[in-house]
Amino acid sequence: VPDAPWIAVVGPGRADVAQLEAAEAVGAGVAAAGAVLVCGGLGGVMEAACRGARSRRGMTVGLLPGVDRTDANGWVEVAIPTGLGEARNALVVRAADAVIAIGGAWGTLSEIGLALKTGRRVIGLGTFEITQAGRRVEGIVAVESPEEAVAEALARRAPPH
């Protein structure tokens, strides 16, 4: 575990079936590759990703916004109740070598911004497209499948720093 890559999976706490299936497949792929899955520890995309990772006996880490460890979804192996509220999003990103965003919610957008700001690779699966003055902003690597998301996250992950 100490030398494994860490991949964050971020996405809405309330997600639709397609997003949940994608998240579960991403989590399984992350674990199958021997990587640690880190997330915000709650429901929706986070829970599905953890469930997928546990189906391959992967390590799952949840960094919770509140102070109660039992808020974590049932597939989190190591739950850290940060008590930082939404500021914990910065810790999810810091813990990871690359970030996979599935679907989109405002918290997800903040994690994408923090990841790009701190030089992490961001892979997007059905997440936001961001434009400025009519031009698409570089940054998010858009992919079409969970397999592609995992491959992109692991192939080009930034070195830990």
Q: Which of 14, 16, 18, 137 binds a second copy (CB under 8 A)?
A: 137
Tell me the window of 17-25, 39-47, 58-66, 146-154 that interacts with a second copy (CB under 8 A): 58-66
Backbone angles phi and psi of 104, in degrees to 5: -155, 135
Q: Which of 61, 99, 102, 154 binds a second copy (CB under 8 A)?
A: 61
Look at residue 26 and give its three-state secondary structure: helix
Q: Are strands 36-39 and 6-10 parallel, antiparallel or unpaired?
A: parallel
* Rounded Cα–Cα distance for residues 84 and 63 (Å): 10
Q: Which of 55, 77, 142, 148 binds a second copy (CB under 8 A)?
A: 77
* Rounded Cα–Cα distance for residues 151 and 43 (Å): 24
Q: Which of 14, 16, 129, 158 binds a second copy (CB under 8 A)?
A: 129
Query: Under the criterion CB under 8 A, does residue 131 sit at the interface with a second copy?
Result: yes
